[in-house]
Chains A and B, each alone.
Chain A
Amino acid sequence: DSGVTQTPKHLITATGQRVTLRCSPRSGDLSVYWYQQSLDQGLQFLIQYYNGEERAKGNILERFSAQQFPDLHSELNLSSLELGDSALYFCASSGPTAGGPSVNEQFFGPGTRLTVL
């Protein structure tokens, strides 16, 4: 167990709809990362937040947005969903944590499997 939680575990919705994925980082971690992984594909970095502020942006579509709240949990909002958005969405978190592992190490949650029908 990485200590990163994601909800829901599975999500089935229709094209054109909007969904929100939630992530709670490990206790003490300030950075949250979102990734998309399509079937048998690599990890596509979407966006990173650090202590509430956007730190880096990857290949995130304009239909997607994210935010990190004061309690450090994060939400990824996906709107106007298309069939091609069906994928596993992972959240990861990293330090700094006092006395903990390197801040470079990212701890991944179990993922949310999104199916768009």
Chain B
Amino acid sequence: QQQVKQSPQSLIVQKGGIPIINCAYENTAFDYFPWYQQFPGKGPALLIAIRPDVSEKKEGRFTISFNKSAKQFSLHIMDSQPGDSATYFCAASMDSNYQLIWGAGTKLIIKP
């Protein structure tokens, strides 16, 4: 019940396309859902996060869509660029303990 399942494992998209990465969770007590971006050899960095009281959040070219009833959330990258090539991790946590439960990661490649 503590797991966060992320798919796909890898994704290749042409420049300008819209990659979509999906995550699903089971624990309805989760109330914070972040996405982290990690470049090779670097630490992950927070990209965007959402709470269950909204269904969508946009920050620049990055959008989180959240479906509370389906217990799913996804990351969309608009007008994708080769510089977006990285590994993306979704996660979930509860305000009661702040421990992040991580998805397995998606390796995204944006082809020029």
Of the candidates A2, A42, A104, which one forms a contact with B95 in the assembled complex, judged by CB atoms under 8 Å apart? Answer: A104
Question: Which secondary structure characterizes the binding site on chain B?
Answer: loop
B interface list, Cβ under 8 A from A: 32, 34, 41-46, 49, 89, 93, 95, 97-100, 102-105, 107
Please state if B103 and A104 are interface contacts (CB–CB under 8 Å): no
Give the A-B pair count, Cβ closer than 8 A. Answer: 55
Taken together as a complex, chains A and B put the C-alpha atoms of A40 and B38 apart, in Å, by 11
Please state if A105 and B49 are interface contacts (CB–CB under 8 Å): yes
Please state if A43 and B89 are interface contacts (CB–CB under 8 Å): yes
Contacts A42-B89, A43-B44 known; A104 to B100 CB distance under 8 Å? yes
Of the candidates B93, B98, B99, B102, which one forms a contact with A42 in the assembled complex, judged by CB atoms under 8 Å apart? Answer: B102
Please state if A108 and B45 are interface contacts (CB–CB under 8 Å): yes
User: What's the least CB distance linking B2 to chain A, in Å?
Assistant: 11
User: What's the least CB distance linking B44 to chain A, in Å?
Assistant: 5
Please state if B46 and A105 are interface contacts (CB–CB under 8 Å): yes
Taken together as a complex, chains A and B put the C-alpha atoms of A90 and B36 apart, in Å, by 14
Of the candidates B44, B97, B98, B105, which one forms a contact with A108 in the assembled complex, judged by CB atoms under 8 Å apart? Answer: B44
**Selected A-B contacts with CB under 8 Å, 16 pairs:** A2-B45, A31-B98, A40-B107, A42-B103, A45-B102, A48-B99, A55-B97, A55-B99, A90-B43, A90-B44, A92-B43, A103-B95, A104-B93, A104-B98, A105-B49, A109-B43
Taken together as a complex, chains A and B put the C-alpha atoms of A94 and B44 apart, in Å, by 14
Taken together as a complex, chains A and B put the C-alpha atoms of A31 and B100 apart, in Å, by 12
User: What's the least CB distance linking A64 to chain B, in Å?
Assistant: 18
